[in-house]
Amino acid sequence: MGGDGSSKARDRASLRRTNLALVLRLLRDAGPRPRTQIATETGLPKATITNLVAELVERGLVREGDSARDGAVGRPSRTLAIDGRSVCGIGLEISADYVHLIALDLRGEVAAEHRLPLDARAAGPDAVLDRAAEAIRATRRTLQGRKAQAVAVTVAAPGVIQRDSGVVSYAPNIGWRDVDVVGGLRERLGRGCPPVRLENDAKLGAVAEYLVAAQAGIHDLIYVTGETGVGGGIISDGRLLRGSAGFAGEIGHMRLAPDGKPCACGRQGCWETMVGLNALLEHAAAPDDPVRDPSVDLEQRLAELRRRADAGEPATRAALDKIADGLGLGLTVLADVLNPRAIVLGGYFAYFGDHFIAQVENELTARVVAPDAGGCTVLASTLGFTAAARGGAHASLDFVYQDPGGTMAAPG
Amino acid sequence: MGGDGSSKARDRASLRRTNLALVLRLLRDAGPRPRTQIATETGLPKATITNLVAELVERGLVREGDSARDGAVGRPSRTLAIDGRSVCGIGLEISADYVHLIALDLRGEVAAEHRLPLDARAAGPDAVLDRAAEAIRATRRTLQGRKAQAVAVTVAAPGVIQRDSGVVSYAPNIGWRDVDVVGGLRERLGRGCPPVRLENDAKLGAVAEYLVAAQAGIHDLIYVTGETGVGGGIISDGRLLRGSAGFAGEIGHMRLAPDGKPCACGRQGCWETMVGLNALLEHAAAPDDPVRDPSVDLEQRLAELRRRADAGEPATRAALDKIADGLGLGLTVLADVLNPRAIVLGGYFAYFGDHFIAQVENELTARVVAPDAGGCTVLASTLGFTAAARGGAHASLDFVYQDPGGTMAAPG
């Protein structure tokens, strides 16, 4: 009961943080508006709003724009809007084939981008983290040149990660086990390094896809990405579903394959043995076919398969049909459990989207117990291989939207 | 931009509603406390709190209790607490075998309970709704005698429901299709009838289980209930997962059964064909065994199976093992997708919980891709067959916690 002076000071600081965040998020979600309208909409006194806005402007998060008439009578007052050129969030994806960095400013515009081709398995964790740190340093220099700063770095990694400790526990497709990604990057970046966080790549891909889908009023979606592994990210009622320990969305390992084929994870019958990239390649081509040669660039091999499918080559068409069957099986299970408004196919599933979507949608309609597949649409991702890095950059910007006062003043 | 006088009045009314709800939920979640502490914690001015509290007291939602010293200095101020004896939420479950009503007061105490045995399939929708309306009327009379009122009725129905229209679309296990439950009850209850809503029974069961689990710090759970059908309710980060059209949790129809047995839903291979009550009975006993006689009360038949299992009767033990296998299969799929902290077994799964839990937990540990099954525990429900009605009563009380000012003054 009650509290002493220092706990009251803490309460006040926490209240101010909450209110700064409230105002900043209102401007993001509802668009530019004058101070008086912000006061009405937040229920906070006008003097408080004036004071909060002053801090947000000083930190370079909000700018004053055009005048607007506030209501039918009274003097015109200036409209406030998200500024955001001075702060950026960085997303950095580590995949089997590349390291990819995207920096987005507070308004979601791309401020910087780097893509480094790399065989992550062959290079090993140390070399990959060296390259990742270089990319982050280069980006920070670029941003500093524009008087902007990076508020946080969110790393997207394939596989099972421990979010609290920043460790990749297990990423079979790049051969990593217990790699301290956050610690390794912090050490390389040294003092003054922005906060670094780790998240699963498919979860961050889902965040990026949701920012697109929300424009169309879609707030429940599943992002399903097909690469060597099959990953998933679930958005439910506008929120990323993490589960109790951050492991939700491990859909590639649902035990659905009736033949019980061994999986890279050491278990049997995982869904990704039916629909992962290797299943497609094995169905489509003989072992000595160049599309199965891992030394050839993946995008080239997919383009060749695409060419064959478009030419009506029977083995390729049959392989794609078989993958569509398997996709249908897993997606109906997910639709029965989660009732998404949309399933967004990423990775190679998106690349062959036109071959998969009709077949999978028919399967959903026939099979899902809710009427009309519960209203679910299947879409191909339009973000391609940028989804995870882009989602990471957005997650980094969340630092600002959660605690605008915590943002360091822009340098220079 | 801006607004005219009437939109400002609307803004003020909406702000007052938000603030009343904020104060009431604070008292529910954080316990009794004095006005000054509420002001600090909500960030609202003291005069506003005094005013809001006066309305909550007048409506019988909050009462003044003992004095407490507010901080190290200053005069003692009186503690406020949820009162709630004057308002109740009603939950009413329609199942294959009974109609069950529970009224809970605002503090979650049982204020009234009715259980009517009934063969819902044989009786048909009209007779079932007649009985349900009678139970609601009787309960309202009981509550009125105590100067309390029912703020809402939430009906729990088995199967696929349309929440917006209040229609049961499809409930194969009671043979209903397109039954307008909310409309039918409103018609029978006439004028002055409190708001009536419809929800899926397993979702409401999950809500009730969550209120128990939250005490133990569990905020991600899956409630899995085994009856003739198999239903599911998912709580993710403390929120009921509904999906885009309210159909989430149809886990009984996940296509997992390799033998593709026909299901009551008309599809094949549904999980409930492996683990539903009929699968247990078929594995455990010959067709002429009395435990398979539907005219004998279900609880008696389960008690007989229980006796045989405890006596080590081989067919019964083998049948339970087989169900545990099937449970393990489906629950590992759910754990990979959702990463729950707990899976709560309800219905007949809870009745044989001691036979299932160890086997299912071993399967989760061996099979789920996250380390240590992602931290998931398997529990048997302790709410038995009351879970859905109890969850419905809590959902009804939500009307008050969302809009305390919307509560009609208590009669008398």
Q: What is the pLDDT of residues B227-236, one digit of tens each?
A: 888 999 999 9
Q: Compute the distance between CA of residue A257 and CA of residue A265 in angstroms, rounded to an integer.
A: 14
Model pLDDT, residue B410:
37
Contact B243/A340 with Cβ under 8 angstroms?
yes
- Please, which pLDDT band fits residue A409 given cuts at 50, 70 and 90? very low
Residues A177 and A239 in one domain: no
| Domain boundary pick from B31, B60, B82 | B82
Nearest Cα of chain A lies from the Cα of B108 at a distance, in angstroms, of: 24
Contacts of B341 in chain A (CB under 8 A): 244-245
For A340, the closest of B170, B243, B250 (CB atoms) is B243
Does residue B411 lie in a domain region? no
Q: Compute the distance between CA of residue B180 and CA of residue B40 in angstroms, rounded to an integer.
A: 47
| Domain boundary pick from A43, A63, A82 | A82
On the question of pLDDT at A70 being above 70, the answer is no
Give the number of domains in chain A: 3
- Give A333 or B60, the one with higher predicted confidence: A333
On the question of pLDDT at B334 being above 70, the answer is yes
ipTM: 0.85
Section A203-214 average pLDDT: 94
- Please, which pLDDT band fits residue A410 given cuts at 50, 70 and 90? very low
A11 HSE (CA, 13 A, CB side): 16
- Please, which pLDDT band fits residue A65 given cuts at 50, 70 and 90? confident
Residues B160 and B136 in one domain: yes
Model pLDDT, residue A229:
87
| CA B309 and chain centroid, separation | 30
Model pLDDT, residue B5:
56
Phi, psi at A3, each rounded to 5°: -170, 160
- Give B297 or A231, the one with higher predicted confidence: A231
Model pLDDT, residue B291:
93
Model pLDDT, residue A118:
86
Helices A314-338 and A277-284 cross at an angle (nearest 10°) of 150
CATH number at residue A47: 1.10.10.10
- Please, which pLDDT band fits residue A305 given cuts at 50, 70 and 90? very high
Contact B346/B249 with Cβ under 8 angstroms?
no
**Sheet containing A160-162, strands listed edge to edge, beginning at the edge strand earlier in sequence:** A160-162, A167-171, A176-180
On the question of pLDDT at A291 being above 90, the answer is yes
- Please, which pLDDT band fits residue A2 given cuts at 50, 70 and 90? very low
Does residue A68 lie in a domain region? yes
Contacts of B71 in chain A (CB under 8 A): 2-4, 8
Residues A92 and A77 in one domain: no
| Domain boundary pick from B82, B99, B117 | B82
Contacts of A169 in chain B (CB under 8 A): 371
Section B353-362 average pLDDT: 95
Contact A244 B220 (CB under 8 A): yes
Residues A374 and A233 in one domain: yes
On average, the pLDDT of chain A sits at 90
Which A residues, 162 through 181, put their C-beta within 8 Å of a C-beta on chain B? Answer: 169-170
Residues A169 and A285 in one domain: no
Nearest Cα to B275, choosing from B156, B359, B207? B359
Residues B102 and B141 in one domain: yes
Contacts of B18 in chain A (CB under 8 A): 43
**Lowest-pLDDT range of A288-302, A324-338, B177-191, B377-391:** A288-302
Does residue A333 lie in a domain region? yes
For B374, the closest of A41, A170, A244 (CB atoms) is A244
Looking at chain B, which residue has its C-alpha nearest residue A70?
B2
Residue B307 at interface with chain A, using a CB cutoff of 8 Å: no
Residues A311 and A395 in one domain: no
Contacts of A1 in chain B (CB under 8 A): 33-34, 37, 68-70
Does residue A39 lie in a domain region? yes
Does residue A63 lie in a domain region? yes
Model pLDDT, residue A411:
34
**Lowest-pLDDT range of A237-246, B2-11, B154-163:** B2-11
Q: Compute the distance between CA of residue B318 and CA of residue B326 in angstroms, rounded to an integer.
A: 13
Distance separating the N- and C-terminal Cα atoms of chain B: 46
Model pLDDT, residue A75:
56
On the question of pLDDT at A30 being above 90, the answer is no
CATH number at residue B321: 3.30.420.40
Q: Is A314 exposed, middle or buried (0-12, 13-18, 19+ CB in 10 A)?
A: exposed
3-state SS class at B110:
strand
- Please, which pLDDT band fits residue A53 given cuts at 50, 70 and 90? very high
- Taking CB atoms and an 8 Å cut-off, how many pairs form between chains A and B? 196
Model pLDDT, residue B7:
65
**Lowest-pLDDT range of A193-207, A346-360, B35-49, B197-211:** B35-49
Section B219-238 average pLDDT: 94
For B1, the closest of A70, A254, A367 (CB atoms) is A70
On the question of pLDDT at B68 being above 60, the answer is no
Model pLDDT, residue A385:
80
Cα-based torsion angle of the residue sequence B324, A363, B158, A251 in order, rounded to the nearest 10 degrees: 50
- Please, which pLDDT band fits residue A14 given cuts at 50, 70 and 90? confident
- Give B3 or A46, the one with higher predicted confidence: A46
Does residue A412 lie in a domain region? no
Model pLDDT, residue B2:
41
Contact A37 B241 (CB under 8 A): no
- Give A154 or B170, the one with higher predicted confidence: A154
Contact B248 A329 (CB under 8 A): no
Contact A247 B3 (CB under 8 A): no
Residues A395 and A383 in one domain: no
A58 HSE (CA, 13 A, CB side): 11
Q: Compute the distance between CA of residue B269 and CA of residue A412 in angstroms, rounded to an integer.
A: 65
On average, the pLDDT of chain B sits at 90
Contact B297/B98 with Cβ under 8 angstroms?
no
Residues B239 and B373 in one domain: yes
- Please, which pLDDT band fits residue B113 given cuts at 50, 70 and 90? very high
On the question of pLDDT at A69 being above 90, the answer is no
In total, chain B counts a number of residues equal to 412
Section A356-366 average pLDDT: 96
Residues A161 and A228 in one domain: no
Residues A289 and A186 in one domain: no
Range of B35's domain? 5-82
Collect all residues with Cβ–Cβ distance below 8 Å to B307 and sequence separation of at least 6: none
- Please, which pLDDT band fits residue A264 given cuts at 50, 70 and 90? confident
Does residue A411 lie in a domain region? no
Residues A352 and A245 in one domain: yes
On the question of pLDDT at A77 being above 80, the answer is no
Which B residues, 56 through 85, put their C-beta within 8 Å of a C-beta on chain A? Answer: 68-72
- Give B235 or A7, the one with higher predicted confidence: B235
On the question of pLDDT at B67 being above 70, the answer is no
On the question of pLDDT at B377 being above 90, the answer is yes
- Please, which pLDDT band fits residue A66 given cuts at 50, 70 and 90? low
Which B residues, 314 through 343, put their C-beta within 8 Å of a C-beta on chain A? Answer: 329, 332-334, 336-341
Does residue B412 lie in a domain region? no
Contact B163/B199 with Cβ under 8 angstroms?
yes
Beta bridge partners of residue A177, listed in sequence order: A170
